[in-house]
Amino acid sequence: MGKREQAREEAAFMRGDVGVDGAATEEKQDAAEVERGKAREALLRGKAYLGREFLTWLLWRSESGEPVAAFEKTGLSVLFLGRVVLKGISGDVTELSARGAMAPYSEQVRQGMDRGLLVHQARLMLTHGEKAYEVTLDAEFLDIRAAKLPALMSEEDDSRTGERLYLAEQLSAMITTLVEAFIAVRAGRTWSKQVVPAMKEWMRGEEGTRKQTALQRAASARKR
Amino acid sequence: MPVLRGAVTFSRFLVEPAEGAPADLKRSLSRALKARAFAPIERRSEEERAAGFVELENHDATDFATGDLFYGEYALFAYRIDQIKVPGPVLRAEVDKWAAAFEKEKGRPPSRGEKGENRSSVRQLLRNRAVPITKVHDVSWNLKSQQLQIWAASRKAVEEVLGGLETAFKIKLIPLIPASVAARTGIEDSALGPTAELIGMELQAEVSHGEA
């Protein structure tokens, strides 16, 4: 053994990395375990699980096509569009991304949710009266990302700024309204006794008839 | 300038005055912005970064006159971050070139001290030539509803602007996420643990042992 090699081994022993037999003192963590640990940390950070439960609840509520909440005395409808990212903490899969016109309402996504993966990021269309907004939301911060606001009506630059700010704030307020509606249900007595069992039934595909409704809505949304 | 045009991407906050915050925020706004205004990087100094508030429509201006700062109920301004980066490989190549010339001239390689001295002067030279990378993030603050938006896509940028705002205005910015909405409506934390049936049983066990 060369001097340098010997010195390296002694240093490792002094650091406590290896024992007298030269074997590692601590077993290296399994890669899957590391992955699950990261997923768990991401879920608990800032109560991100509430955000995921919110988006999952919203997906379930939106499928019927009925308004999910009232905003400024008018119904607020939600439709999930395009790409959806699911995240979870158990099992072999901790993240799943699905892309497709109706991917969020697909059987594959619902099966993933039934196995503990919840919606972490999604693209939504919010319809309020005659105005339609599109936005991408993530569960941890509920930041507004790449939003599409309704067409601006004003022609002058100054008024357009005001209108843009107003619409951006309306969109933010709509998200808050949806969160408030969720929190009211989430903290209520029906959450664990009625809502969660109904969501699980839907995830397992035991509800049956709603899928067609969502497809019809997507088709009409595209026409608009 | 995303507030005025471009991608609509922002983080949402509710403004809560912290202890020691001025009673009339609108009046003190301009003063607070000026106190933390952006100042360009001093070329002769060692600093590599400068950050601070600028006007929304002119990223070199820090006057914050009423006409430039307020728009109806809103206060509109921006947070500018300048950074100078001397690329490591370029610095190394310049020092190696100098070392080769030194050896040719003196017939010996430069000592460690000589090399170090040269490295810092080359670094300064490259720094003087480098163009700062500028990033500007808009802030819109509705003074009536006390909702504030930071128009930035990167979370790191949002965190930095957030820190700048909280220090400058002595405010607390509450993110509009489900946990804070629940707290505002008086719902206790204990009522909002993870739903085992949705998330998985193993986490529920962890949370009940107090890890969350």
What confidence tens digit (pLDDT) does each residue in A143-200 have? 999 999 998 877 777 788 889 999 999 999 999 999 999 999 999 989 999 999 999 9
Distance, CA of B159 to CA of B174 (rounded, Å): 12
Tell me, yes or no, whether A31 lies in a domain.
no
Q: Answer whether B176 sits within 8 Å of A116, measured CB to CB.
A: no
**Window 178-197 of B, Cβ < 8 Å to A:** 178-179, 181-182, 185, 187, 191-192, 194-195, 197
Tell me, yes or no, whether A19 lies in a domain.
no
Which helix (H) or strand (E) element contains residue B5?
Answer: none
**Predicted confidence pLDDT, tens digits, chain B (212 residues):** 588 888 899 999 999 877 766 777 777 899 999 999 999 998 777 788 999 999 999 999 999 999 999 999 999 999 999 999 888 898 899 889 999 999 999 899 999 898 888 888 888 888 888 889 999 999 999 999 999 999 998 999 999 999 999 999 889 999 999 999 999 888 887 788 889 888 875 554 555 444 43
Q: Answer whether B199 sits within 8 Å of A53, measured CB to CB.
A: yes
Contact B78, B134 (CB under 8 A): no
Q: A-chain residues within 8 Å CB-CB of B178?
A: 47, 50-51, 53-54, 142, 179, 182-183, 186
Phi and psi of A186, rounded to 5°? -65, -35
Q: What angle do CA B32, B38, B44 make, to 5 degrees?
A: 140
The shortest CB-CB distance from B10 to any of A113, A143, A197 is to A143
* Kind of pairing between the strands at A74-87 and A95-98: antiparallel
Tell me, yes or no, whether A26 lies in a domain.
no
Q: A-chain residues within 8 Å CB-CB of B5?
A: 164
Q: Answer whether B72 sits within 8 Å of A54, measured CB to CB.
A: no
Write the DSSP assignment of A131-145 as a string of letters. Answer: EEEEEEEETTT--EE
- Residue A194's pLDDT is 94
- The Cα of A22 is separated from the nearest Cα of chain B by a number of Å equal to 35
- Residue A138's pLDDT is 93
Indicate the pTM of the whole model: 0.80
Which helix (H) or strand (E) element contains residue B135?
Answer: strand B133-142
- Residue B28's pLDDT is 87
Tell me, yes or no, whether A29 lies in a domain.
no
Q: Answer whether B177 sits within 8 Å of A147, measured CB to CB.
A: no
Q: B-chain residues within 8 Å CB-CB of A161?
A: 3-4, 71
The shortest CB-CB distance from A187 to any of B153, B182, B199 is to B182
Q: How far, CA to CA in Å, does B43 sit from each of B39, B135, B204?
A: 12, 18, 55
Q: A-chain residues within 8 Å CB-CB of B158?
A: 143
Structure tokens that stand for B136 in this block = 């500007």
Hey, is the C-beta of B105 within 8 angstroms of any chain A C-beta?
A: no
Residue B140 bridge partners (DSSP):
B76, B149
The shortest CB-CB distance from A145 to any of B9, B147, B197 is to B9
Q: Answer whether A141 sits within 8 Å of B155, measured CB to CB.
A: yes
- The Cα of A116 is separated from the nearest Cα of chain B by a number of Å equal to 5
- Residue A216's pLDDT is 57
How many Cβ atoms from other residues are within 10 Å of residue A182's Cβ? 25
Closest B-chain CA to A148:
B8
Closest B-chain CA to A41:
B212
Tell me, yes or no, whether A12 lies in a domain.
no
Among B156, B185, B198, which would you mutate to test the A interface (most chain A Cβ atoms within 10 Å of its Cβ)?
Answer: B198
Q: Domain range spanning residue A139?
A: 47-223
Tell me, yes or no, whether A197 lies in a domain.
yes
Which helix (H) or strand (E) element contains residue B49?
Answer: strand B49-55
- Residue B211's pLDDT is 42
Q: Answer whether B206 sits within 8 Å of A40, measured CB to CB.
A: yes
Tell me, yes or no, whether A162 lies in a domain.
yes
Interface confidence (ipTM) of the complex: 0.81
Q: Answer whether A161 sits within 8 Å of B142, measured CB to CB.
A: no
Q: How many domains does chain A have?
A: 1
Tell me, yes or no, whether A6 lies in a domain.
no
Which portions of chain A are predicted below pLDDT 50?
Answer: 209
Q: Answer whether A51 sits within 8 Å of B177, measured CB to CB.
A: yes
- In this structure, the dihedral spanned by the alpha carbons of residues A108, A111, A112 and A118, taken in order and rounded to 10 degrees, is 110
The shortest CB-CB distance from B199 to any of A49, A54, A143 is to A49
Give the A:B interface size as CB pairs under 8 Å: 142
Distance, CA of B139 to CA of B79 (rounded, Å): 7
- Residue A208's pLDDT is 52
